[in-house]
């Protein structure tokens, strides 16, 4: 998934929940322009904590699975 797809997903979920950009940004403790850039795939430097917080607010979560290329099975 690339930045644009992530942003489009956040935008879709935000609209499904009936939140404006201003409302979601305030709940996530970020600025509205930052959220706008994120939704449009223009913001690459967003902390994982911020991203996870936005997803939590929107009622979603992701599972992060560590990858170890040196692990032998």
Q: Name the residue ranges covered by the structural domains of the chain.
A: 3-57
CATH entry 3.90.600.10 includes domain 3-57: no
- Residues with pLDDT less than 50, the chain: none
Three-point CA angle 36, 19, 4, nearest 5°: 35
- Contacts of 10 by beta carbon, 8 Å cutoff, 6+ apart: 38, 39, 54, 55, 58
Eight-state DSSP code of residue 29: T
- The pTM of the full predicted model, rounded to 2 decimals, is 0.79
Task: Please report the pLDDT score of residue 61 as a whole number.
Answer: 79
pLDDT of 69 reads 74
The pLDDT of residue 73:
65
């Amino acid at each position: 998934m690339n930045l644009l797809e992530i942003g489009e997903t956040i935008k879709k979920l935000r609209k499904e929940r009936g939140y404006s950009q201003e409302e979601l940004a305030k709940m996530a403790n970020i600025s509205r322009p930052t959220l706008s850039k994120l939704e449009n795939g223009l913001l690459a430097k967003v902390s994982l904590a911020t991203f996870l917080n936005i997803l939590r607010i929107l009622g979603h979560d992701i599972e992060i699975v560590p990858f170890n290329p040196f692990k032998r099975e």
